[in-house]
Structure 1
Amino acid sequence: MAINHNQTWNLQERLQKYPGYRAEHTTLFANRQVIDYNLETGISNPVGTAYALRCDYDEDEKATDKLMQLQQDPQVDKLEALVIGTWEGEMAGGSSSFLIEALVGAKDWFPSLKALFIGDIHYSECEISWIVQSDISPILEAYPNLEILQIRGGDGLAFTPFVGHKNLKALIVETGGLSSATIAQICALDLPTLQHLELWLGSDNYGGNSSIADLNPILVERKFPNLIYLGLRNSEYSDDIAEAVVRSPLLNTIRILDLSMGTLSDAGAELLLKNPVVQQLDTFNIAENYLSDEILAFVEEQQANFPVQIIIDGQKKDEYEDEEYRYCSVAE
C-alpha cells in the first residue's frame, strides 16, 4: 500500500519544541491560540480559541469550581477546545479522578467540544512524573464528538473499560514513564478514525517499563491502520523502535514519523535514513537524540535529495562524567 498524500494532517504544533522545558504552558492547542478563561471577559471566540482553566499555587478554588463557572458562560455550548492545567492549588499526590468525574458530569454543557487537553502543567508547578492521572475512558464515552485528546502524566493513567470512539483523530499521551499496561489498554481501544498517535514512552525509573514487544499491536498488527502521524517519542529504546519500524507495514501508509526526544544512535538513524520508504515520508523527526556530527552532516548534505523533511536539531551528548549514558529527554 502506498503512502496516501490525500489524507489531511494539520497538527504541525506537535513538531515544535516541548514548552515544558521552559516552564511554560502551551500557547497553541488543536491549531488554536490558548488563553486562560477569565470570568469577566468570558468566551469571545468559542471556535477559534482554546480556553484554559488553571489553579494558582495554594489557591482554594479547584479546577472543578472553575469548570462550573465556565458552564455558566452563554457561549459554552459552542466551545470547541478546552485545556485543563493544574486542577488543584497543591498538586502533590492529587489524582485527576475528581476532575474526570466533573467533566463527565458537565458533558451536556459542552456539546461542541472537539479538543481536550488534561494536564497542561510544567515542571515548576509539578514534575511530569508526579502528575497523578486516572481512568480516561469515561471522557471518551461522554464526549462522542471529541477529535483530539491530549493527556500529560502517566502515573495512574488508565483507559478502562476498553471503549470505542468513532470520531477521535488524535490521541497524545505525554509522560515521563508510560507503563506497558497502559500501552496495552490504549491498543485495545477501538479508534477507527485515529490519524495521530503520539506516545511518550519515558524512563523505566518513572514507570516506563515497556519494551518493543508492547508496540507490536501498533507496528505489526496495525491496530490503527489509518494513522498519518506516528510518534513513539521520549524513549529509552529508540534503536529497537527503529529496527521494528523499518519492518512495519505501517511505514508504507504513514506520512510523519516522530522518534524525537529519545535515545536514537547513529546505527538506528542510518537504518531509517537509508530506507527508501522513509525517504518518501513528508516528515521524519529525529530531534533531541544522540546523533553524531557525521550523521548530521550527511543529513544536511542530502536533504535536498530527500523528498522527506528531516528534523535533527537539539542532539544530546552521550557522555556523562566520561561514561556513556543516554536518556530520554523528559523523565522526572
Structure 2
Amino acid sequence: MPNRSHLTEFAGLPVVEFTGWDALRDDFGLAMYWARNRREPHTEHPKNYERLFEAIADPGSAAWRLRMETPSYGTGSNGPIDTLGQYLGRFAEIVAPAEVTALIVGYMGGDYEAMPPDEVRDRLLDIAPKLTALRSLFFGEIRQQENEISWIEHGDLSPLLAAFPDLAEFTVRGGSAGLGLALGEHRALRSLTVQSGALRPEVVRDVCASPLPGLERLELWPGSKEYGGESTPEDLAPVLSGEAFPRLRHLGLRNAEELDDWIPALAGAPVLSSLDTLDLSLGTLTDEGARALLGAPAFRGLKRLDLHHHYMSEETAARVRAEFAGAGVEVDVSDPREPDVDEYGGETHVHRYSAVSE
C-alpha cells in the first residue's frame, strides 16, 4: 500500500535520500561494533553511498528525500546530533539547491512536542529562496512504520505553495486535524494530491475554492468517518460541476470508506464528461456501488477507471470488467477484498476498510 514503503521514484526521477551525520555515524558505528564484538566485518554496513555522491554531482538527476531518524545510540558522547535546521542547512550547502527539481520531505524524527508540525514547514521555507528550480514537492512522505497516517499532523501549508510559484506538482500526506490548504492563486500548479486517513470537509472546501487555473490532476483521500473524514459530495460540488478547475482531466477519490455514497453524485456530475481518468481505488466499493457505475452511461466516456482494492463479488467484478472494456474503457478491478464479519450482541456486523487505515 502507498504508505507501507518509501517511494523509489518521484516526478519521473529516482529517489535519493540525503543522509545526515547521525545516520552516517550510526551506519559506521554499527559496522565497527559488529567487527569488534563478532570478530568479523559486517556484511551489509556501511551502506553503499555511491548513488548519493553521483546525485550530489548532478542534483537534477534525482528526487531528493529529506528524512531524519532519532539516533539509535550514542546521543551526546558520539558527536553532535543534527537539529532540523542544521540538517536542512547542510542539504542546501552540499546539494546545489538551484538545481533541485523534485523534493520529498519525509519523517523528521523525535516527537511532535520536540518538533512541532509547523517547524518542518518553516525550516523548509527558510531554504525556499534557494530552491529556484523546484517543480515537484511531496510533503509528509511518512511510512506506516514511522507514524500512522491519521497521526501525521500538519498546520497551514498554503505558505509552501506561495514560496514556490513555479511548483507544478504538490502532494501532502497526513494532517487529519490541523491541515490547512486554503491556497492563494497559483498558476503553475498542475497536480494536487492530498493523502489522508480522514479528510475534513473544510479542507475539501478550501481546495475547491483555491484559484488553480492550470490544475489538471486532483486526488483526494476521504478516508474514515471514525477519524473525522466526514467530507461529502456536497463539499466537492465546485469540482463536480466542472467550474472549479476547467482543465481537470484526472480526478481521484481514493481510500474512501463510504465510496458507494459517492457514485450517484459522480454519475450526474458535469465534470465527468471532461475527465480522461477516474480513480476510485483503495476504497470500499461494493456490489451496490458497482450497480450504480454500470447504470450510468457517463462513466463509459472515460479512458480509464481504476477500482482496484474493492469489495465487489467475483461475478460483479467480472461484469464491470466486461462491460467497461466493451465500451473502450481501461478498467482495473484487481485486488478484491473480503469484509470482516463479527458476531456479537446477537447480531452480525460487517466491516469494510479502505486500504490505508488503522
Asked if residue 25 in structure 1 is aligned to residue 11 in structure 2, the reply is no
Structure 1: gaps spanning 5 or more residues: 1-17
Give the letter for the 1:69 counterpart.
Answer: R
Q: Which amino acid aligns with 1:324?
A: V
Q: For residue 73 of structure 1, report the CA deviation from its aligned partner.
A: 2.7
Alpha-carbon distance, 1:329 to partner:
2.1
Q: Return structure 1 stretches of 4+ with deviation > 3 angstroms.
A: 57-60, 89-95, 273-277, 299-304
Larger Cα Rg: Structure 1 or Structure 2? 2
Is the 8 Å Cα contact of residues 132 and 157 (structure 1) preserved in structure 2?
yes
Q: Give TM-score, length-normalised by structure 2.
A: 0.81
Shift of 1:95: 3.7
Using the alignment, how far apart are the partners of 1:132 and 1:193 within structure 2? 28
Paired residues of 1:238 and 1:264 also in contact (CA < 8 A) = yes
State yes or no: 1:55 paired with 2:73: no
Equivalent in the alignment of 1:124: 145
Between the aligned partners of 2:302 and 2:57, the Cα distance in structure 1 is: 39
Moved more, 248-257 or 54-63: 54-63
Alpha-carbon separation, structure 2, partners of 1:301 and 1:310: 9
Q: 1:65 to 1:205 in 2, by over 3 A?
A: farther
Larger CA deviation: 213-222 vs 282-291:
213-222
Give 1:156-235 correspondences, 5 Å limit: 156-160=178-182, 162-220=183-241, 222-235=243-256
**1:148 counterpart = 2:129:** no
Q: Which residue of 2 aligns with 1:268?
A: 289
Question: What secondary structure sits across from 1:89 in the alignment?
Answer: coil
Aligned to 1:327: 353
Question: Partners in 2 of 1:69 and 1:152 — Cα distance?
Answer: 25
1:214 counterpart SS class: coil
Work out which of the residue numbers 34, 37, 44 in structure 1 matches 2:15.
Answer: 34
Does the 8 A contact of 1:61 with 1:89 survive in 2?
Answer: no
CA displacement at 1:52 relative to structure 2: 0.4
- Contact 2:190 2:214 (8 Å CA) reproduced: yes
Deviations 1:242-299 (A, max 9, x none): 1111100100001110111112221222322343332231210111121111112223
The reply to whether residue 247 of structure 1 matches residue 273 of structure 2 is: no
Q: How far apart, in 2, do the equivalents of 1:95 and 1:287 lie?
A: 36
Question: 8 Å contact 1:25–1:120 — kept in the other structure?
Answer: yes
Structure 1 residue 93: deviation in Å? Answer: 8.3
2:2 aligned partner, one-letter code = P
Q: Distance in 2 between matches of 1:308 and 1:300?
A: 9
| Distance in 1 between residues matched to 2:184 and 2:65, nearest whole Å | 27
Does structure 2 conserve the Cα–Cα contact (< 8 Å) formed by 1:43 and 1:76?
A: no
Q: String of CA shifts for 1:60-89, please: whole Å, max 9, x gaps.
A: 434443221111135220110000111233
Higher relative contact order (CA 8 A, sep 6+): 1
- Cα separation, 1, equivalents of 2:83 and 2:290: 45
Alignment partner of 2:56: what SS? coil
Q: Distance in 2 between matches of 1:95 and 1:290?
A: 39
Query: 2:26 corresponds to which residue?
Result: none
Identical positions, percent: 33
Question: Cα–Cα, structure 1 residues 75 and 93, in superposed 2: closer, same or farther, change >3 Å?
Answer: closer
Please give the alpha-carbon distance, in whole angstroms, between the structure 1 residues aligned to 2:186 and 2:324.
39
| Counterpart for residue 3 of structure 1 | none
The 1:215–1:74 alpha-carbon spacing in structure 2 relative to 1, beyond 3 Å, is: closer
**AA of the residue aligned to 1:31:** G
Note the C-alpha offset of 1:57. Answer: 3.2
Distance 1:66 1:207 in 2: 34
TM-score normalised by length of structure 1: 0.87
Structure 1 residues 229 and 93 mapped into 2: Cα distance closer, same or farther (>3 Å)? farther
Q: How large is the Cα RMSD of the aligned pairs?
A: 2.1
Q: Which has the higher helix share?
A: 2
Query: Can you list the C-alpha shifts for 1:181-229, whole angstroms capped at 9, x where unaligned?
Result: 1111111211000111111111112121222221212213531121111
Q: Pick which of 60-69 and 29-38 moved more.
A: 60-69
**Change in CA separation of 1:144 and 1:289 when aligned onto 2, cut-off 3 Å:** same
**Equivalenced residues, count:** 312
Distance in 2, Cα, partners of 1:310 & 1:167: 30
Deviations 1:10-48 (A, max 9, x none): xxxxxxxx332xx31111211221111247725233333
CA separation of 1:272 and 1:125: change in aligned 2, threshold 3 A:
same
Tell whether 2:331 aligns with 1:318: no
